[in-house]
Each structure stands twice: as structure tokens, then as C-alpha cells.
Amino acid sequence: MSTPDTGVVVGDDGLARPAWAAVDPLLREYYDTEWGMPVRDEQGMYERITLEAFQAGLSWATILRKRPAFREAFANFDPDVVATYDDADVERLLNNAGIVRNKAKILAAINNAQATIKLRDKGGLVDFVWSFQPDETPHPHTVDEIPTKSPESLALSKAMRKEGFTFVGPTTMYALMEASGIVDTHLVDSHRRGSSGVWPS
């Protein structure tokens, strides 16, 4: 059952979700348990930055289905391990049908692992990303009202590039901020609105 004036879909469990999370069981589970929850550990934040970069031009469902293979291929997104990957590892990854075989994105993942390690001298990746949390969060009633970037995501993108990160454009950084709880773009009538504890419902 869809509610046109709010943009949510009420599922067979009686819970309201956006259409993108209402049908596919994998997306629904991700939405209900993970998306928008605060990420406060380096490995988790590095994983999300990496997967958001790989997602560019693709559907999130594609990335989510491949995430177990990504985790295996990238040492569970341990930056200390990925930072040491060499040409042989790049070749191995390019031959791995379980992941997205894009050389530029693979090289970005390795580069960003190295940049993550360097950021430890400045307080670390997590605090760096969270320092761009805005004073307010959107209150969208429909998916069309959700921004795709913000002044904060533009600033974060610029700052990340300055620290040596790649594939961190403002739209990608806004998606990161949504996924990791820095902003809450759950629809106002979704059952997940305010679930992060960072923002009131």
C-alpha cells in the first residue's frame, strides 16, 4: 500500500518505508538495520567510503549483493592491509568477478586506505568526517525532497581531496553522510525516522 502524499510504502508488517526499501528483502533488511545508523569506527567508515565510490553509476542493490565478495577481496576493509596492495593485488581484483571490476575505483580504494592511515595523525578518519555534521538535518516527506548534496558535503569533498582521497565527490560524500548517520534523510513518516539517535524524529 502506497501513500502518495508522504512517499512511504506500508509493508505487510505494517511498517512504513520509502519505495526503494519496500520490496527487495536485501534492501529492506539494510534499511531497517543499518542505513543511517552512526558509524564510529575507522574500518566501518573506510568501508562505506569505498563502497560509495564503487556504487557511482550503479545501483546500491548491486553493491549490497556484492558486499560479501568486496569484504573478502579487500581484507574486510582493513586500511592497514589494503594500503599495502600492489600491482599483483590490483590484477587479482580485476579478475575477481564477485566485485565491480573497475581499475580506477580499485586504485582509489588502495589510495584511500593509505590516506586513512595518514589521517590518524590528525585525529583519524571518523572524527574528520563527523566534523562536517550540519546544524540541521533535512525533513523530507517524499524522496524528491531529499537533497543529493549539501554545503557540508561540498566542504567534506574538498577537505577529503586535500587529504589525498579520491572518488569523494560532493554527491558521493552526501550519500556517505546519509548512510553513516551524519544526516537523517529518512522520510518523516518512515518507521526509521530518528532511529540513529543523532537527530530527533
Of the residues 42, 47, 52, 178, only one is catalytic, namely: 52
Taking the C-alpha atoms of residue 80 and residue 120, their distance in angstroms, rounded to an integer, is: 12
Cα 126 to chain centroid distance, Å, stands at 13
- Residue 2 φ/ψ, nearest 5 degrees: -105, 145
Are 147 and 174 a contacting pair, CB within 8 Å? yes
- How far apart, in whole angstroms, are the C-alpha atoms of residue 97 and residue 68? 12
Q: Known binder of ligand: residue 141?
A: no
The question of whether 34 is a catalytic residue gets the answer no
Rounded to the nearest angstrom, the gap between the alpha carbon of residue 192 and the centroid of all alpha carbons in its chain is: 17
Is 60 a known active-site residue?
yes
Residue numbers belonging to the annotated binding site for Zn(2+): 186
Cite the active site residues.
Answer: 30, 52, 60
Residue numbers belonging to the annotated binding site: 186
